Amino acid sequence: MLSKFYKNATIIPAIVALGINIVYINIDCIFSNYKSEWLTTGSFAPIIFIMALFNSAIIMVLALPIFLNKYPTIKNNWLLSMLSWFLLPIIWLTILLLKSSVDLLVYNGIDSPGIFPIINTVPYIIGLVLSYARFCSQY
């Protein structure tokens, strides 16, 4: 039963984040005026996609405590339930967002390195919050 909440909290946001990354990579390649003999914008596309996959895997592992809610002692205690749902993923996502906030202050525009962490955190935050709200409404 909790597997559908886990899917809504991690797998669907991973698909959304990877899709947004593909769009971002294409837009960045089209509109970037970066020229180099060795490293071009297009050469970073596979690296960006692998980093997004790696981030998805980390969040999927960190969200596994969602399954602790099958135990009545955790499910009936709102604090333990919320901690099992949010604590580990939010720590990771906060680290990424803090990094991006520093980059956004230094750089401007679509070429900003701060855009990438935002693309890879916001879908997960939305997925975690919505899946927890659905979980609370059903139990």
Q: What are the tens digits of pLDDT across the range 51-61? A: 999 999 999 99
In this predicted structure, the answer to whether residue 83 has a pLDDT above a threshold of 90 is: yes
Predicted confidence at residue 27, as pLDDT, reads: 82
Predicted confidence at residue 35, as pLDDT, reads: 67
Q: What is the pLDDT of residues 29-51, one digit of tens each?
A: 777 666 666 766 667 778 888 99
Distance in angstroms between the alpha carbons of the first and the last residue of the chain: 11
Burial of 44-71, coded b for 16+ CB within 10 Å and e otherwise, reads bbeebeeebeebbeebbebbeebebbee
CA 84 remoteness from chain centre: 17
Alpha-carbon distances of 127 from 21, 26, 56, 61, 102, rounded to whole Å: 17, 25, 13, 15, 25
